[in-house]
Amino acid sequence: MRYTYEEVALSTEAKKMRDILVDYIGVVSHRLPDDIAMKIKELGKIEIDPLQQLVYATMRENQMLAEDLDRPSCQDTGALQFFIKVGTNFPLINELNVILKEAVYLATKSIPLRHNAVETFDEYNTGLNIGTGLPTIYTELEQDSDTIELYVYMAGGGCTLPGAAKVLMPGEGYEGVVRFVMDQMTSYGINACPPLLVGIGVATSVETAAMNSKFALMRRAESISPNENAAKMEGLLEEGINNIGLGPQGFGGQKSVMGVNIINTARHPSTIGVALNTGCWSHRRGKIIFDNNLNYELPLHEGVSL
Ligand code: SF4
């Protein structure tokens, strides 16, 4: 049976939120978040060889044209993922899943977005950018709050490819974490259109570490872990991955990463779960915060209004 979708009757307020999200998905697909745009500028100044300078100049021109012409910043507009912290008193909490699904469905038609939803095992593209379990929606509840914070992420194919997770024997220690990350980055980092934002999760199991590594990609590129030891590892890994010499778009160069972000949570004493996710130079993630009247802020896209 083929996947089909019929629009669901939503309340007036839910439609308002959905339509704001449709517009914001358009912004995210056309305009890099401020931290990534800044990093691309910074890294472009560090490279001195003409080839690398040309790659950065092309990235900046691509970005300018995407904004001016209202076109996606990369042809791969990704699989849509939402990471949400929602107050238990947020008035539209009951309609949230439908709001998000419809926002992707409508954005796909109006922006437009490339069709990236393939039903697994049945192996056909729904042509809608939604499908079984897509968009991906991760929700955290916040007690006694009536607001919602929502990350929108366009997970491209290339930048998703280096992703991996593993549970290490406890004796492998944090050296094992570093070995895992460096093995992945030397083998697959090139797939993801460098310079990369590298997200690392450390926790108990594959899925908890994997979630942490994805959340790490939601942190700003220049951010530093509040945990002193994790922050030290971020710095060391950044240096190590830069030394691989991938450079912009894999043409070699001084810098391979925009940043390394680690998110760690407590673990079982007998395991060290570690996971890695990468974001490419066109790291299209946005953040929108709504209050209970649907007034919103866009902290990663300064100066944009919808
Ligand atoms: S890795 Fe990023 S920039 Fe490269 S094709 Fe995929 S989405 Fe586009």
- What is the CATH number that goes with domain 12-30+73-156+284-297? 3.30.360
Could you give the residue range(s) of every CATH 3.30.360 domain in the chain?
A: 12-30+73-156+284-297
57: which residues sit within 8 A by CB, 6+ positions away?
Answer: 44
Q: Which residue has the tokens 């080839």?
A: 51
In this prediction, residues 181-205 reach a mean pLDDT of: 97
> Which two structure tokens, joined as six digits, stand for 212?
């942490």
Q: pLDDT band at 1, cuts 50/70/90?
A: confident
Q: Would you say 245 and 216 are in contact if contact means Cβ atoms under 8 Å apart?
A: no
Interval 6-55: pLDDT, tens: 888 999 999 999 999 999 999 999 999 999 999 999 999 999 999 999 99
Does residue 73 sit in helix, strand or coil? Answer: coil
Is the per-residue pLDDT at 219 higher than 90? yes
Q: Which of 237, 291, 298, 297 is nearest to 92 (CA)?
A: 291
Residue among 257, 282, 283, 284 whose CB has most ligand 1 atoms within 8 A, to mutate: 282
Q: What is the pLDDT of residue 7?
A: 84
User: What is the Cα–Cα distance from 148 to 296, expressed in whole angstroms?
Assistant: 10
112: which residues sit within 8 A by CB, 6+ positions away?
Answer: none
User: What is the Cα–Cα distance from 39 to 195, expressed in whole angstroms?
Assistant: 9
In this prediction, residues 245-274 reach a mean pLDDT of: 97
In this prediction, residues 193-211 reach a mean pLDDT of: 98
Is the alpha carbon torsion for 266, 211, 215, 248 positive or negative? positive
Q: Which of 261, 297, 295, 232 is nearest to 91 (CA)?
A: 295
In this prediction, residues 182-209 reach a mean pLDDT of: 97
Interval 122-138: pLDDT, tens: 999 999 999 999 999 99
Q: pLDDT band at 303, cuts 50/70/90?
A: very high
Cα–ligand 1 centroid distance for 239 (angstroms):
23
DSSP string, 17-43: HHHHHHHHHHHHHHS--HHHHHHHHHH
Return mean pLDDT, the chain.
97
Q: Whose CA is nearest to atom 6 of ligand 1?
A: 158
The CB of 163 under 6 Å from ligand 1? The reply is no
- What is the CATH number that goes with domain 159-279? 3.30.1330
The CB of 160 under 6 Å from ligand 1? The reply is no
User: What is the Cα–Cα distance from 9 to 6, expressed in whole angstroms?
Assistant: 10
Does residue 151 sit in helix, strand or coil? Answer: strand
In this prediction, residues 93-114 reach a mean pLDDT of: 97
User: What is the Cα–Cα distance from 210 to 202, expressed in whole angstroms?
Assistant: 8
In this prediction, residues 229-244 reach a mean pLDDT of: 98
Is the per-residue pLDDT at 93 higher than 90? yes
The CB of 282 under 6 Å from ligand 1? The reply is yes
Is the per-residue pLDDT at 71 higher than 90? yes
The CB of 190 under 6 Å from ligand 1? The reply is no
The CB of 250 under 6 Å from ligand 1? The reply is no
Does residue 131 sit in helix, strand or coil? Answer: strand
Could you give the residue range(s) of every CATH 3.30.1330 domain in the chain?
A: 159-279
User: What is the Cα–Cα distance from 276 to 201, expressed in whole angstroms?
Assistant: 6
Cα–ligand 1 centroid distance for 95 (angstroms):
32
> Which two structure tokens, joined as six digits, stand for 200?
């690392």
In this prediction, residues 186-199 reach a mean pLDDT of: 96
Does residue 111 sit in helix, strand or coil? Answer: coil
Tally helices (H) and strands (E) across the chain.
Answer: 8, 11
